Structure 1
Amino acid sequence: MSVVIIGGGISGLALAHGLHSRGTEVTLLEAGPRLGGNIQSRHRDGFLTEAGPNSFLDREPTLRALAASLGLEGHIRTADPAAKRRYVYTRGKLRAVPMSPPAFLKSDVLPLGAKLRMMGELFTRRAPEGDESLAAFGRRHLGSAATAVLVDAMQLGIYAGDVEALSVAAIFPKVVELERKHRSLVLGMARTRAAERKALPPGQSAPKPSGAVCSFDGGLQVLVDALARKLGPVARTGARVTGLRREGTGWRLAVEEHGQRAELAADQVVLAVPAYVAAELLRPLDEKLAARVEGIAYAPVAVVHLGFAPGSTPPQDGFGFLVPTLERRRVLGVIHASATFPWRAEGGRILYTCMVGGAKRPDLVDLDEEALVKLAREELRELAGVTAEPSFTEVIHWKRGIPQYNVGHLERVAAIDEGVARLPGLYLIGNAYKGVGLIDCVRAANELADTLTR
């Protein structure tokens, strides 16, 4: 069996590695000059910056297993313990996000009335029929204020989306399952923990995943480079697929590679490209399927890195802060990169990573580099008291940054799956469908590798 994977982001790379390690004949074609997609770690002027994802949560063995297969497990770096502290900018200042129920009762992240409303979650009614926005779900369980501040801030850090548009079932399926089984999330979590403890042998405590924020020595690019070395000539850059058609029981691909045109045959083809790229390849095969895939929206995001001399800014405290939409600010959030991973800034330098744009302010991503640096500096000064002149700046524009799992997403993906099933030997994979995170992409790649080699 021969498999051609179109797209050299983390989904395509992890799938190619999984198939190659099983002895499957596989070829990966990447149109661009480099592998890794939006994973790009850069070293300059004493700073290590990330153009796309900054880290991953070590909440399950998926990524560690991939790292171990590449000899990288010893290169995983855990964030500084202080990074567990998170902040939200609300009501004119940065306020700590409480990490426990007692801390929540003492905190000032929400007014007293909003905290009392949250305590009424035990009496929440079940969801109505049909898909529901994250905002509607949050208001029903936690109240309007908590949804506008905490729930919105949480999704901004992952999706940079619109809390009123995102589908809670698509982005937090486990939470929806808790409600379905137990009505109240508080009751559901308590009952789940009790059941887990009861299932353990006497005297054994429940396992606790660390959930720590992690990266690699040298940044996330280390993972991409290791995959590229492992795959060798299996992964080809500068190879753009311009057409795809059925031929007998297999597929034939039209490829432009370094100025030359050729055709490539394959038994199985995997589209591991963004949804809008997949749609163009699918359109000659199935117009309706292509339209469904193309209908997945993306939130644009600009990443603005600002580096400062040692001691020139207020001490960074914790992982960083998020800024709910209701505050009407121009940043989505700020990562304290040098506090989270001190090794990313040499000699005590200080690095802030500011996220701009998102589903609600896509216009800001169209600003040029100078304007975005100015915007980020103004926001840092007003929100965090950073008045120093940066010694280092870097701006990355992602016009189509993060896929948006809006209301109706699960129905759309189910229809896409049905359409793809009518094209035997064709598969879709990537962060546009069933999980936007780095670990989600690797897990999906592992599952597809199992399917293709079963």
Structure 2
Amino acid sequence: MGSFTCTYLYFPSFKKPPHSPFSSPCFTLTPRAGLRRLRCSIAEGPTSVSYAPSLEDQESVLDCVVVGAGISGLCIAQALATKHGNSNVFVTEARDRVGGNITTIERDGYLWEEGPNSFQPSDPMLTMAVDSGLKDELVLGDPEAPRFVLWNGKLRPVPSKLTDFPFFDLMSFPGKIRAGLGAIGLRPSPPGHEESIEEFVRRNLGDEVFERLIEPFCSGVYAGDPSKLSMKAAFGKVWKLEQNGGSIIGGTFKAIKEKSGSTKAPRDPRLPKPKGQTVGSFRKGLSMLPNAISSRLEDRVKLFWKLTSISKSDNGVYKLAYETPSGMVSLQSKTVIMTVPSYVASKILQPLSDVAADALSKFYYPPVAAVTISYPKEAIRPECLIDGELKGFGQLHPRSQGVETLGTIYSSSLFPNRAPPGRILLLNYIGGATNPGITSKTESQLVESVDRDLRKMLINSNAQDPYVVGVRVWPQAIPQFMIGHLDVLDTAKTALSDGGFAGLFLAGNYVSGVALGKCVEAAYDVASDVTKYLSQYQYV
């Protein structure tokens, strides 16, 4: 069959032209205001489709294309719509689903996460949930739920507030004194180089705080090596306290004073008020958020769209070429936001900037496995029970304590309806920057390692074998904010800007921070930056 060209004229009252070649759910176009023209060429073999065909009709050019439908990409698109009234946005995703590493599974009476497990309910996070229609689906953990660290064979509670600090037994009395004196500024002065987390904490708060609190925390959050992670990049807020106030306590008081003297916008009355410091999720797991956002964005989210090339025209418009189930598709847009992992962005951006591509290739993502297993309640050691129940957020394990598992989340204690009656559900993380060899292990070997570790501290040694709920290995899991991270990131951004690629934004967890809440908070910032750029945009 030869090729032919067809032209459709359609009005805003139509979703798509009747009997059009775009009836496929993989390509549905929603018209904007005014009469629009759409051309397509259908040839023997794969179909080639071009959206936004010419600048004669400038409305046909998208305001923004978001590459990647993980939580960062979806939240940026929603923020553009809800905060800035801009829906002329496409979100494209190479995989068959939205949400990125957020992976919630429900089966056999269990509900579990194989990626991120919860979020801190900050106002931006709650706003995103409310705007997604999920206010009534929010579930928050008990703010009094204890957290534990393994030390000398015993799970010891971590203080949840400053007043608890003198009374908990995770640290010695001299260790507490050292931490207190360092916090008020009686410690060595900052060196003349970028400090690792280990250097910063040992200098400011002493060896015990690092070894018994911060090192396991780094393992649990970043799956990282604190001797290589940058304090400035990974925990910038704490780093700035010393920079701004001369000490951690001095910086804290200064920040409180500045905050009390500033004009604070009234809090959105729609938002729930969490009681104390806690974590949150949704009734049916974290996947509810990306799924809800995707539903609201409707046909502006495109799955199975693999970006193959990106270029910028002489008129200042970006052109993106995609492989899709309907053939090759081309989009034109005033701005592009890359929310894919840095190693993916590096390959895509190579033709635009060798310098940016090289910088983005430097970030390291170590492997992490999420091992979810279940035991009967009677398998828990009696000394680990509170009022006859396993209560708490979970536990972290310093690398010095002879266990391989990084940490364990008490999933069935943290949120409701995560396990059948009489069972407990434990989400365990293993691997990371200090143990990349997990990729050579089988699933059964990973389960054996986790079970062996748990029997040293939480599970009775004679308990029956665990029921394996799920095992998920992420070969490239969490970007490491190592020393020099911010400089490398700035190199990539500067190379794109100086190379004539203004309007191309880098986003995602290697930019914002690895916590889910950080990605959501940054989404609002990126949406504001894009809106500001568009307000000054002019066709060349």
TM-score for both structures, normalised by structure 1: 0.93
Contact 2:143 2:276 in 1 (8 A): no
Instruction: Report the CA distance between 1:327 and its aligned residue.
Output: 2.0
For structure 1, which runs of at least 5 residues remain unmatched after alignment? 202-206
After superposition, what is the alpha-carbon deviation per residue over 1:140-163, rounded to whole angstroms, capped at 9, x for unaligned?
Answer: 111123212211112222111101
What SS is found at the alignment partner of 1:130?
coil
For structure 2, which runs of at least 5 residues remain unmatched after alignment? 1-60, 265-272, 533-540
CA distance in 2, matches of 1:194, 1:449: 30
Aligned residues: 447
CA distance in 1, matches of 2:319, 2:120: 39
CA distance in 2, matches of 1:302, 1:16: 30
Show the counterpart of 1:87: 148
Instruction: Report the CA distance between 1:257 and its aligned residue.
Output: 0.6
What SS is found at the alignment partner of 2:336?
strand
CA distance in 2, matches of 1:78, 1:140: 36
Which has the larger share of helix?
1
What SS is found at the alignment partner of 1:406?
coil
Residues 1:99 and 2:143 aligned together? no
Show the counterpart of 1:301: 368
Contact 1:126 1:183 in 2 (8 A): no
Instruction: Report the CA distance between 1:300 and its aligned residue.
Output: 1.4
Q: What aligned pairs does 1:198-347 form with structure 2 within 5 A after superposition? A: 210-248=276-314, 249-258=316-325, 260-314=327-381, 315=385, 316-347=390-421
CA distance in 2, matches of 1:88, 1:421: 45
Aligned CA RMSD, in angstroms, stands at: 2.2
What SS is found at the alignment partner of 1:157?
helix
Report the AA paired with residue 428 of structure 2. C
After superposition, what is the alpha-carbon deviation per residue over 1:219-259, rounded to whole angstroms, capped at 9, x for unaligned?
Answer: 11111110111011110111101111222211222211126
Q: What aligned pairs does 1:55-454 form with structure 2 within 5 A after superposition? A: 55-58=118-121, 60-83=122-145, 85-121=146-182, 122=184, 123-193=186-256, 210-248=276-314, 249-258=316-325, 260-314=327-381, 315=385, 316-386=390-460, 387-422=463-498, 423-454=501-532
Instruction: Report the CA distance between 1:175 and its aligned residue.
Output: 1.2
Show the counterpart of 1:204: none
After superposition, what is the alpha-carbon deviation per residue over 1:183-218, rounded to whole angstroms, capped at 9, x for unaligned?
Answer: 2213433454466568799xxxxx998332111110
* Equivalent residue in structure 2 for 1:37, among 100, 117, 125: 100
CA distance in 1, matches of 2:402, 2:317: 53
Contact 2:70 2:99 in 1 (8 A): yes
Contact 1:126 1:179 in 2 (8 A): no
Instruction: Name the stretch that deviates more: 211-220 or 439-448.
Output: 439-448
Instruction: Name the stretch that deviates more: 407-416 or 387-396.
Output: 387-396
Instruction: Name the stretch that deviates more: 29-38 or 382-391.
Output: 382-391
CA distance in 2, matches of 1:450, 1:120: 41
Instruction: Report the CA distance between 1:370 and its aligned residue.
Output: 1.0
Identity %: 33
After superposition, what is the alpha-carbon deviation per residue over 1:17-62, rounded to whole angstroms, capped at 9, x for unaligned?
Answer: 223442341111100011000111110111110111111011x310
CA distance in 1, matches of 2:335, 2:258: 43
Show the counterpart of 2:80: 19
CA, structure 1 residues 410+209, in 2 after alignment: closer, same or farther (shift >3 Å)?
farther
CA distance in 2, matches of 1:268, 1:14: 16
What SS is found at the alignment partner of 2:178?
helix
